[in-house]
Amino acid sequence: MHEHTLALSAHLQDAVVACFGESFAGIDPELRPATRPEFGHLQSNLPLRLAGPLGLPPREIGARLVDALDISTGSIQRLGELGTVELAGAGFLNLTWSPDVLGRAVGGLLTDPHLGVPIPVTTKRVVVDYSSPNVAKQMHVGHLRSTVIGDALARVLAYAGHDVVRQNHLGDWGTQFGMLVEELLGEDLDDPAAVADLDMSELLALYQRAKARFDDDADFADAARRRVVALQSGDPATLALWQALVDASMAEFDATYSRLGVLLTDDDFDGESRYNPQLPGVVEDLRALGLLTESAGAQVVYPDAFTGRDGAPLPLIVQKADGGFGYAATDLATIRHRVDDLAVDRVVYVVDHRQSQHFEMVFAVARAAGWLPDSVEVQHIGFGTVLGPDGRPFKTRSGETVTLTALLDAAEEAAASTYATPEVVRMVANAAVKYADLSNHLARDYVFDIARMSATTGETGPYLQYAHARVCSILAQAPQQTYHVHTLSHAAEQRLALELTGFAPVVAKVADTLEPHHLTAYLYGLATALTAFYENCPVLKAEGEVRQTRLALCEATRRVLSEGLRLLGIEAPQRM
């Protein structure tokens, strides 16, 4: 379809030159989808835009352009094979594809397993850094968003032909492990095999006991600090218990990933601990580059153009006064690894928008140090907060942050009474949660309203799953070997066909902008066109070529819906 749109643009450009001269050569007709079905399929506001420069009324410009486009047949001009053009309103050109062009586009979709999405000549390697929960802590709603958004982006980028490396930057290192290991030893829980078997609630309880003692008992706090040193210097017994805690948490996270149906596996863990050996080198190299400054005993970098509220330069702390390395040092080491060892072209960090300044400063320091060449693009994809019904950040009644598991439980509970099998309940619950999350502009906060998210009407995940299941059931009643598109004679057939041609452009748009809501909105539009098609065009009761054509439209829609939902990480059952 893209080539037809280009041809249409070229025709319009030729017409402009023919009517108004070479000085307007190359003007972009800015073809946009028509805002209403009665305006045809595409619209251009060329006459309005040319009115100023030409000093002519827009409708007069439009009339001349329409005349120039082809032989007149009444008020509607033919654009040869492509379709028709009509002057409308204050000076719009309404364009309508010919049924032939649309029919061929649907035929093309049916023969292309990749649904018209081009594979780029040169693939780019893209790291998507997402999910990234912290060991011995629950995944909370913020991690839900990172996991859902990151997974959709990883899928879309891969589908668009990129070489995607998923990295789950697990928080598996840091001073809290001193206190956790010390608590294990104090409680005689020193068998690593037993520790690795702890489940999430046991890990959390351990964390809380350790934290309480750390805050109350100065001797324990000292022992915990010494334990951090033992961990960093590689003491085997300490390392074994740390590893057991990491293993226990990873098993819990993996269980959540498979429940959510996301792509992340054990192989994608790329935790902070992995970079620990590189951290002294990061500091040394920054010092050698003359970028390091001492501030109250800490080693910091002042990247250009970062100032605090008081206007004073903002430091990025790479080594704390006590000699420990922090989050920023690890992220710098991670960038070096990704650039030097993974040879990435692009890194996408899917992390809560509250960390945006951290990432901006890390990126600035990495650029200044020459570790991040201009050819490598780094982007922090921040996102807003999930709110409770009261419009405030989602908390439990006792004021704790809501865990991911609790959210999924609520979604499954909402679906449980409606669907027959546990598998479908799980799919519907995931669809409700994921679609609601992905259909907002990323930066926007949204209210976690499980009743609205799970509804089967309106713009929801379950509504799209229904649309898919319904088209599957029609197709199952008339199994075909191959599908044939004959003339698309009904306007609702043509509109559905037009919607189908939008799949490839929207995939490209999401891969480029990293905004999944374009794809959710596209699929909703497609499902709406499908409903209008059913209302106007009986499929199974039709005969001959009409029936064949309608079945082919159903099949193409089924494929696009199922692939589109899959790219959002949403499973679409055949029956619900």
Give the binding site for ligand ARG (CB under 6 A): 129, 132-134, 169, 171, 331, 334, 349, 351
Q: How many CA atoms lie within 13 A of 555 on its CB side?
A: 25
Within a 10 A sphere around the Cβ of 25, how many other Cβ atoms? 11
Q: What single-letter amino acid sits at 206?
A: L
Which of 155, 153, 160, 131 has the alpha carbon at shortest distance from 144?
131
Run of H or E including 299: strand 298-301
CB of 330 to ligand ARG, least distance (A): 7
Closer Cβ to ligand ARG, 134 or 175, answer by number: 134
Distance between CA atoms of residues 273 and 290, nearest Å: 27
Q: Which residues pair with 299 in a beta bridge?
A: 294, 319
CB 299 → ligand ARG: shortest distance, Å? Answer: 19
- Give all strands of the β-sheet with 125-129 in edge-to-edge order: 163-167, 125-129, 346-350, 377-381
* Residues 464, 432 contacting (CB under 8 angstroms): no
Residue 160 CB, nearest distance to ligand ARG (Å)? 23
In angstroms, give the least distance from the CB of 405 to ligand ARG.
16
Q: For residues 44 and 132, which CB has a smaller minimum distance to ligand ARG in the complex?
A: 132
H-state helical runs in 126-276: 141-159, 176-186, 192-196, 200-216, 218-232, 236-260
Find the shortest distance in angstroms from Cβ 355 to ligand ARG: 7
* Pick 381 or 498: Cβ nearer ligand ARG: 381
If the CB atoms of residues 141 and 565 are measured against ligand ARG, the closer one turns out to be 141
169 vs 346 by CB, closer to ligand ARG:
169
Cα separation, 219 vs 210, in Å, equals 13
Distance CA 450, CA 568 (A): 19
CA distance 313 to 326: 20
Q: Please say which residue, 166 or 169, places its beta carbon nearer to ligand ARG.
A: 169
Closer residue to ligand ARG, CB minimum distance, 1 or 350: 350
Rounded to the nearest 5 percent, the helix, strand and coil shares of the chain are: 55, 10, 35
Q: Which is nearer to ligand ARG, 94 or 249 (CB)?
A: 249
In what helix (H) or strand (E) does residue 431 lie, and over which residues does it extend? helix 422-438
CB of 352 to ligand ARG, least distance (A): 7
Nearer to ligand ARG, 130 or 524 (CB): 130
What is the rounded distance in angstroms from the CA atom of residue 261 to the CA atom of residue 572? 12
Tokens standing for residue 341: 């060892």
User: In the beta sheet, which residues pair with residue 93?
Assistant: 44, 87
Radius of gyration of the chain (CA): 29
Q: From the CB of 311, what's the least distance to ligand ARG, in Å?
A: 28
Give, in degrees to the nearest 5, the angle at Cα 16 between 15 and 17.
90
Nearer to ligand ARG, 28 or 340 (CB): 340
State the Cα–Cα distance between residues 575 and 370, nearest whole angstrom.
55
Q: Which is nearer to ligand ARG, 356 or 528 (CB)?
A: 356
The whole-angstrom separation of Cα 461 and Cα 458 is: 9
Smallest gap from Cβ 142 to ligand ARG, in A, equals: 7
Collapse the DSSP code of 86 into the 3-class scheme (helix H, G, I; strand E, B; otherwise coil) and give the result: strand
